[in-house]
């Protein structure tokens, strides 16, 4: 599945899990991707849009981390230099940061992360 579809499948799971575990209500996407016109790009950058910010944030602390950032990548997709910089910077200040290549991998990561509370 393409990256978009993997992320949609992951959020289908999150939506189901919210019914039994309120921690899943604190998982959200950061819509940073997408092609935009020059005007729209300027508009969103003025609001704080930053290139390379990870795709998903789990705003729940566990025993080791204050939160978890996930970057979805399709199969052999590579992170950009800006994505690497964000992941490294967020990791240095204490956040868990992972790259996932499927919805199944994202589900496993989040389930384990939330069990480690």
Give the torsion sign (CA, 34, 74, 7, 69): negative
The structure's pTM equals 0.91
- Angle between helices 103-115 and 3-17 in degrees, nearest 10: 40
Q: CA–CA separation, 10 vs 28, rounded Å?
A: 11
- Cβ-count burial 23-50 (b if 16+ within 10 Å, e if not): bbeebebeebeeeeeeeeeeeeeeeebe
Give me the domains of the chain, ranges plus CATH numbers: 3-115 (3.40.1350.10)
Taking alpha carbons only, the member of 41, 4, 16 closest to residue 107 is 16
pLDDT at position 17, please? 98
- In angstroms and rounded to an integer, the radius of gyration of the C-alpha atoms of the chain is 15
In this prediction, residue 33 carries a pLDDT of 65
Under-70 pLDDT residues of the chain: 1, 33-36, 41
Give the pLDDT confidence score for residue 34 in this predicted structure.
Answer: 63
For 10-38, what is each residue's pLDDT tens digit?
Answer: 999 999 999 999 999 999 999 876 666 77
Structure tokens at 12: 């289908």
């Amino acid at each position: 599945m393409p990256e978009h579809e993997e992320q949609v499948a992951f959020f289908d799971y999150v939506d189901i899990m919210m019914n039994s575990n309120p921690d899943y209500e604190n998982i959200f996407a950061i819509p940073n991707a997408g092609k935009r016109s020059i005007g729209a790009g300027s508009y969103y950058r003025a609001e704080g849009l930053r290139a390379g910010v990870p795709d998903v944030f789990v705003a729940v602390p566990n025993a080791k981390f204050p939160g978890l950032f996930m970057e979805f990548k399709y199969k052999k997709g590579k992170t950009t230099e800006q994505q690497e910089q964000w992941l490294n910077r967020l990791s240095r200040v204490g956040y868990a940061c992972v790259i996932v290549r499927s919805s199944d991998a994202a589900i496993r990561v989040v389930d384990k992360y939330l069990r480690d509370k």
